[in-house]
Amino acid sequence: MNIGWHILIGVFIGLWASTAQAAATPAATVISNIATLNYEVGGAPDSITSLPAKFTVDELIDVSLTWQDASSVSVNSPDVDKSLTFILTNIGNGPESFSLARNNSLTGDNFDPSNGASGSIYLENGLQPGFQTSGPNADSIYIPGTNDPNLTGGGTQTIYVNSNIQSALPTGNTGLLSLTASSRTPGAAGATPGTSLAGQGVGGVNALVGNTRAQAVQNGSYIVSGLSVTVAKTVASIVDPRAGNNLEPGSVVAYQIVVTVSGSGTAGNLTITDPLPAEFTYFPGSITVGGAARTDAVDADNASFGSSTVTVNFGSVVAPATLPAIQFRATLN
């Protein structure tokens, strides 16, 4: 007996948990309550039930938009087809269709993104997670009035707002845009919460405009953060066997390599390798970094020479940065 009871409890909680996760009670649901009374009159037990007290659940129109990128999306300047990801959720309790619009001209930023070259708003089609502009799993371009997302109560739609970024923007500049989702039920979007729209709900029930005014606006942003590494190698000096500056067999050439990391972000495990041409012979023990001597062995210092190659490891470098100059010498054969 006891075991059976435990199992029943388990089943019941499972059911409860699943309904608790679910969306609001669907519009047009009838909620009914019947009371039961057990009693005794003159020692005779009996019972009666009440007629049901019942009412119908009206449709609530509510919508939410969330911006999914953890932070401003990194872009280059210029850049093409960079997307921000939003999720549209029908937090009402009936099927609802939403129109989408973007606004590029927000204030409080450094530049305005423009509509993406391949399309301005895309709808995730579910074939492949993430944004694809082309290929067999390409997401669907949003066309207002044609493929407006139609969501059941609690339903969601992933949306990509796709932008081009203008040229010549300094690193660190931000560009804001907003996405607006509006209920397509006539009279709903922007209406005062509590506005009742007679017969506009599913199955002809009334639709009530919720706290979100049947409309949601959400900002997202881009940041110009193209990180680039430039390497400049120059000849610092030439000393020929006759103490002159001519390049001839026997001349010792001092090379200098300057590494610059521009933009923003972090370059990880930044390693410079410089293989020597066959006509040069490395001058042992000649590597300096920022003027400080380094050994040729692979050891605690960050430079080494082996297999005719000079290697210097700078580790993680936070941009922007100009790294200490590398110098070494080689003799022309």
Partner 1 sequence: MRPFSLIALFSLIGMLAGPAHAAPEAKQNITLKNVAEVEVEVTTPNGKKEKKREPVKKAVPGTEVIFTTTFGNAGTKPAGNIVLTNPVPDNTSYVAGSATGANTDITFSVDGGKTYSTPDRLKIKKDNKERPALPAEYTHIRWTYKGELAAGKSSDVSFRVVIK
Q: List residues near partner 1 by CB under 8 A.
A: 5-6, 8-10, 12-13, 16, 19-20, 23-25, 29, 31-42, 44-46, 48-60, 62, 91, 93, 192-194, 196, 205-206, 208, 210-212
Shortest Å distance, C-beta 65 to partner 1: 14
Shortest Å distance, C-beta 187 to partner 1: 15
**Whole-angstrom Cα distance, residue 124 to residue 20?**
27
Nearest residue (CB) to partner 1, 10 versus 241 = 10
Shortest Å distance, C-beta 101 to partner 1: 23
Helix (H) or strand (E) holding 14: helix 2-21
- 91, two tokens: 């937090």
Nearest residue (CB) to partner 1, 76 versus 156 = 156
Nearest residue (CB) to partner 1, 53 versus 117 = 53
Rounded alpha-carbon distances, angstroms, from residue 20 to 14, 91, 306 = 10, 14, 66
Nearest residue (CB) to partner 1, 43 versus 136 = 43
**Whole-angstrom Cα distance, residue 333 to residue 116?**
56
Shortest Å distance, C-beta 102 to partner 1: 25
Nearest residue (CB) to partner 1, 32 versus 128 = 32
**Whole-angstrom Cα distance, residue 282 to residue 212?**
72
**Whole-angstrom Cα distance, residue 77 to residue 175?**
12
Nearest Cα to Cα of residue 162 among 79, 232, 236: 79
Partners of 265 in the beta sheet?
319
Shortest Å distance, C-beta 300 to partner 1: 53
The distance from CA 156 to its chain's CA centroid, rounded to whole angstroms, is: 17
Nearest residue (CB) to partner 1, 56 versus 150 = 56
Shortest Å distance, C-beta 182 to partner 1: 18
